[in-house]
């Protein structure tokens, strides 16, 4: 194999795409900062138990592992940033009130999470700790929508569900881990035949409710239908009411519900959402409430947030017009007028212009900046910018 061939689902990012990704990253971070979110930069590498404690098997399988040559302990390359941010909130900041944090950095996956996906996403996320009320859920969802709007992604559709509904339906049934996993899989794939077989021995009310879940997908009418066909337990009533309340706060995006959607069921503790747009193979954004995320660090605080892959976002975000540059001649520092030219170039760069110096013998080189002007002497012998 050639030395320059990269591993599967790992790729270089070339200039045009890298520029677009960086522009999106800045817009996302600026949008989060406008909401009062503080930027944190957790390390790529941590002790394995810190990365995986309480996160479930799925994240364990996605995490690259290695041995620390200094301590002999197992280390992991992060596959998700949320556990690290929860650790920062719990131990390094340890604030008594609300904490808003955001981040943007690479994560690594042992396998792509879907066909054609990268194993090195650039994960942006925002999280709010310390508030158990629905106001925090609404803020996370509205910030996620504003982040996508800032990157000029449209139209948007919000899919909503709640982890408490299925938990309430299976509570008290005493299901072991394999049966529970099979049940979750059947619900997620909406496999009515498998679901009927799995719930055959359940009490009639729970069996009927679980089978009804796979048909509870659509617009706001779904919530009214769910209130009729699902048991009227306090947990289910609260979940449906909160979904309705959150949906009423969404503007400028379609809202749909899928009450059998269990993606991330081991992670979320309440309302969860995904945001979709045409052209994306899956949800651009996933988020929701995960109140237990900090418990393993000794501080069980309410938490809600979302994340997205900037590399995936670049595929559907509107391209930004390229800011054209100025081409300037290259003069040896010993030339008599070199100092004057350098001063002119420096002034242009300070004003925000891109100035590309044409190296000797490469005056006609084509690059991404597409110079539409040049720095040349005018009739009076001064350095001035003129159109090409």
| Residue 91 scores a pLDDT above 60 | yes
Q: Tell whether 263 is in a known binding site.
A: yes
Q: How many helices (H) and strands (E) does the chain have?
A: 13, 16
| Residue 164 scores a pLDDT above 80 | yes
Reading phi first (left if > 0) and then psi (alpha if -120 to 50, else beta), residue 94 is in left
| 295-326 pLDDT per residue, tens | 777 778 899 999 999 999 999 998 888 888 99
Of 326, 358, 368, which is closest to residue 345 (Cα–Cα)? 326
Q: What is the mean pLDDT of the chain?
A: 91
Q: Determine how many CB atoms are found less than 10 A away from the CB of residue 204.
A: 8
| Residue 251 scores a pLDDT above 90 | yes
Percent with pLDDT over 90 in the chain: 68
**Residue 366 has what pLDDT?**
58
Q: Tell whether 251 is in a known binding site.
A: no
- The arithmetic mean of pLDDT across residues 95-120, rounded, is 93
- The span from the CA of 124 to the CA of 318, in Å, is 18
| Band (11; pLDDT cuts 50, 70, 90) | very high
pTM of the predicted protein model: 0.90
Residue given tokens 């975000």 in the structure block: 317
- The span from the CA of 226 to the CA of 341, in Å, is 73
| Residue 145 scores a pLDDT above 70 | yes
End-to-end CA separation in angstroms for the chain: 46
- The arithmetic mean of pLDDT across residues 340-359, rounded, is 92
Phi and psi for 375 in degrees, rounded to 5? -95, 115
| 25-77 pLDDT per residue, tens | 999 999 999 999 999 999 999 999 888 876 556 788 899 999 999 999 999 99
**Residue 56 has what pLDDT?**
59
Helix 234-247, helix 221-229: angle, nearest 10:
170
| Band (381; pLDDT cuts 50, 70, 90) | confident
Of 21, 287, 26, 267, which is closest to residue 142 (Cα–Cα)? 287
| 173-222 pLDDT per residue, tens | 888 888 888 998 899 889 999 999 999 999 999 999 999 999 999 999 99
**Residue 261 has what pLDDT?**
85
| Residue 292 scores a pLDDT above 60 | yes
Residue given tokens 């590309």 in the structure block: 356
Q: Tell whether 127 is in a known binding site.
A: yes
Residue given tokens 């100035």 in the structure block: 355
**Residue 181 has what pLDDT?**
85
The CATH-assigned architecture of domain 155-276 is 2-Layer Sandwich (3.30)
| Residue 308, SS3 per DSSP | strand
Q: Tell whether 80 is in a known binding site.
A: yes
Q: Give Cβ neighbours of residue 15 (< 8 Å, ≥ 6 apart).
A: 368
Percent with pLDDT over 70 in the chain: 95
Rg for the chain, CA atoms, rounded = 26
| Residue 214, SS3 per DSSP | coil
CATH superfamily to which 1-153+283-320 belongs = Bira Bifunctional Protein; Domain 2 (3.30.930.10)
Distance of CA 181 to the CA centre of its chain: 26
| Residue 90 scores a pLDDT above 90 | no
Q: Which residue has the higher pLDDT, 291 or 331?
A: 291
Q: Tell whether 267 is in a known binding site.
A: yes
| Residue 165 scores a pLDDT above 60 | yes
- The span from the CA of 154 to the CA of 46, in Å, is 37
| Residue 288, SS3 per DSSP | strand
Q: In what order do the strands lie in the sheet with 254-258?
A: 38-39, 99-106, 122-129, 303-309, 285-289, 271-276, 157-162, 254-258, 217-218
Q: Tell whether 123 is in a known binding site.
A: yes
Residue ranges, comma separated, of all CATH 3.30.930.10 domains in the chain are 1-153+283-320, 155-276
- The arithmetic mean of pLDDT across residues 104-120, rounded, is 93
> Which parts of 218-334 fold into alpha helices (H)?
221-229, 234-247, 310-313
- The arithmetic mean of pLDDT across residues 82-91, rounded, is 90
């Amino acid at each position: 194999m050639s030395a320059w061939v990269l591993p599967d689902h790992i790729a270089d990012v070339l200039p045009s795409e890298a520029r677009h990704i960086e522009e999106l990253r800045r817009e996302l971070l600026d949008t989060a900062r406008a909401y009062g979110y503080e930027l944190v930069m957790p390390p790529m590498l941590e002790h394995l138990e810190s990365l995986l404690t309480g996160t479930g098997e799925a994240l364990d399988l996605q995490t690259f592992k290695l041995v620390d040559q200094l301590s002999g302990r197992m280390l992991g390359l992060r596959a998700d940033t949320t556990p690290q941010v929860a650790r920062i909130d719990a131990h390094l900041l340890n604030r008594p009130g609300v904490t808003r944090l955001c981040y943007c950095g690479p994560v690594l996956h042992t396998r792509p999470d879907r066909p054609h996906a990268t194993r090195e996403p650039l994960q942006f996320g925002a999280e709010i700790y310390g508030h158990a009320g629905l106001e925090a859920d609404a803020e996370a969802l509205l910030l996620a929508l504003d982040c996508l709007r800032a990157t000029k992604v449209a139209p948007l559709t919000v899919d909503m569900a709640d982890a408490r509904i299925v938990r309430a339906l299976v509570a008290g049934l005493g299901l072991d881990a394999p049966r529970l996993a099979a049940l979750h899989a059947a619900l997620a794939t909406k496999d009515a035949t498998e679901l009927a077989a799995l719930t055959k021995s359940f009490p009639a009310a729970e069996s009927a409710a679980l089978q009804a879940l796979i048909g509870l997908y659509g617009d706001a009418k779904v919530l009214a239908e769910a209130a009729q066909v699902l048991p009227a337990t306090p947990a289910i009533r609260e979940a449906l009411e909160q979904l309705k309340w959150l949906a009423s706060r969404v503007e400028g995006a379609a809202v749909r519900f899928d009450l059998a959607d269990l993606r991330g069921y081991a992670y979320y503790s309440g309302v969860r959402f995904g945001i979709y747009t045409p052209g994306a193979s899956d949800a651009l954004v996933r988020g929701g409430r995960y109140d237990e995320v900090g418990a393993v660090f000794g501080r069980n605080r309410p938490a809600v947030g979302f994340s997205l892959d900037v590399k995936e976002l670049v595929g559907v975000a509107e391209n930004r017009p390229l800011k054209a540059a100025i081409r300037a001649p290259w003069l040896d520092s010993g030339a008599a007028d070199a100092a004057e030219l350098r001063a002119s170039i420096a002034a242009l760069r300070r004003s925000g212009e891109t100035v590309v110096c044409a190296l000797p013998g490469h005056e006609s080189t084509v690059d991404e900046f597409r110079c539409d002007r040049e720095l040349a002497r005018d009739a009076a012998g001064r350095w001035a910018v003129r159109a090409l």
